[in-house]
Amino acid sequence: MKKITILISMFAVVSSWAQLPKEIEENYELSWSEEFNGTDADLDQRWHSQNSKSGGAYVLCSRWRENAEVHDGILELKAKKESRGGQDWTCGNIWTKEDFGYGYFEAKYKYAGATGTNNSFWMWPKNGVPEGEKAFELDVNEGHYPNKVNTNIHNWTDKDEYGHHEDDPKPFFFGSKIPKDSYSHILETPIQTKKVRISSRHGKKINIGEIFVYAPTEKGYPKNPRRPQDADNYSELVNHAAKKNVKVDASGKYVFKEERSTDAQNVVDGVIRGANNEWISQIEGEKWITLKFKKAVDIGCIQFTNAWTKNTETWYNLITNYKIEYLKDKEWVELAHFDTEEGDDFSKDYHTYGFLWTPTEFKFYFDGELIREEDNELCHAKTNILLSLAILKARIGGEVTDAIDGTSMKVDYVRYFEKKED
């Protein structure tokens, strides 16, 4: 363990531990830490760097030691727009020479301030796993600007019938809270129009299962349009989008290799769930879908369902921004909007990301608060600690633009705690 001999530094460390989860504070003790208080050259004593092209179909950058710089007690993993290693961007990443077993892992860092970046603190057994143990990856956070925290548990040994490895992702948004799977906007003043449009600058493809355009009523509207039993309680409601003469137009659609309907018309087919009953947009550019009614209709509420799921808990392709408009006097007028970028900005402030790993459980923490808990039926071999900045394709990390150039993931510290002896 690196000794901290300067009293001011010791005070800073003690005070920053104030966010430790109570369970860790009471039962664990600091065993190893990297405070980045040395020189840039000191980094090579305890950390490796990739120094090569990055693999994987989604990674757009090579990663080099020159992109990892230590100064003033901070590690900067820098993103640069430069061609090297056969890729158009470069970034920095490092991993520990030492490996670690069960315990509590914590890092404090800021995100690079641009979409398309992947700001990661994770564990991976770079030296391999013993025979009989499963290969794994534990992502404490693959953070996406401005305020998305991505946790993931990868099983790199077992595969499904299609040859895909098993993973268990769960994302979290902070600041402007993103709805789970459906969106509802009750209008303070009803409107009359022949056209309604939903548009988005979301950097990936989006999924919309169904759109509901309700006539004004004093009896209220469904609280969750994804639940048919809820909608049944409002059977007297007039849903203009359910009428046969509604025309639907869209910016485009995503085409799968296998036969699957992703047409815009699916949003008014009356089927809330189902792989062939949703509109899936194109990946690039602005996404929009328009409903056109045969004649002007009165509207009191607009709802739509979003995302898809493998199970009942984890949702994918959640829309991070959208705008709802209606046509008035040949001009589009905004009715409602949502944007996670109006929430917290994790490139401006440091946050802590913690992970408790025991023989039986995983616990994920954000700023000392538990956000996810899972059984450990996978990971028992020792692992290395990794810090990495990457640039990912738009459908994974958001829009990739020149705004990335010169940004950096800034790491204040990395710490490892072991369980106290009884």
pLDDT band at 257 (very low <50, low <70, confident <90, very high): confident
Q: Which residue has the tokens 């996404």?
A: 287
Q: What is the pLDDT of residue 272?
A: 73
Exposed, middle or buried, 271 (CB in 10 Å: 0-12/13-18/19+)? middle
3-state SS string for the chain: CCCCCCHHHHHHHHHHHHHCCHHHHHHEEEEEEECCCCCCHHHHHCEEECCECCCCCCECEEECHHHEEEECCEEEEECECCCECCECEEECEEEECCCECCEEEEEEEECCCCCCEEEEEEEECCCCCCCCCCCEEEEEEEEECCCEEEEEEEEEEEECCCCCEEEEEEEEECCCCCCCCEEEEEEEEEEEEEEEEEEECCCCCCEEEEEEEECCCCCCCCCCCCCHHHHHCCCCCCEHHHCCCCEEEECCCCCCCCCCCCCHHHHHCCCCCCCCCCEECCCCCCEEEEEEEEEEEEEEEEEEEECEECCCCCEECCCCEEEEEEEECCEEEEEEEEEHHHCCCCCCCCEEEEEEECCCEEEEEECCEEEEEEECCCCCCCEEEEEEEEEECHHHHCCCCHHHCCCEEEEEEEEEEEECCC
Could you give the CA distance from residue 58 to residue 111 in angstroms, rounded to a whole number?
19
> What's the pLDDT tens digit per position in 304-345?
988 776 555 566 677 888 999 999 999 999 998 888 777 788
pLDDT surpasses 50 at 150: yes
**Percent of the chain whose predicted confidence (pLDDT) is above 90:** 63
pLDDT surpasses 50 at 359: yes
Residues shown for the chain: 422
Could you give the CA distance from residue 319 to residue 332 in angstroms, rounded to a whole number?
21
Region 361-387: mean pLDDT is: 95
Could you give the CA distance from residue 305 to residue 267 in angstroms, rounded to a whole number?
9
**Percent of the chain whose predicted confidence (pLDDT) is above 70:** 88
Q: What is the pLDDT of residue 12?
A: 36
Region 245-272: mean pLDDT is: 90
pTM recorded for the entire structure:
0.69
Q: What is the pLDDT of residue 286?
A: 93
Region 274-292: mean pLDDT is: 90
Q: Which of 15, 49, 46 is CA-nearest to residue 33?
A: 46
> What's the pLDDT tens digit per position in 201-251?
888 889 999 999 999 988 888 877 766 555 556 668 899 999 888 999 999
Q: What is the pLDDT of residue 14?
A: 36
Residues 278/208, Cβ–Cβ less than 8 Å = yes
CA 216 from chain center: how many Å? Answer: 36
pLDDT surpasses 80 at 186: yes
Q: What is the pLDDT of residue 170?
A: 87
pLDDT surpasses 80 at 124: yes
Q: What is the pLDDT of residue 176?
A: 53
Q: What is the pLDDT of residue 64?
A: 98
Q: How far apart are the first and last CA of the chain?
A: 21
Neighbours of 353 (CB within 10 A): 24
Q: Mean of the per-residue pLDDT values for the chain? A: 87
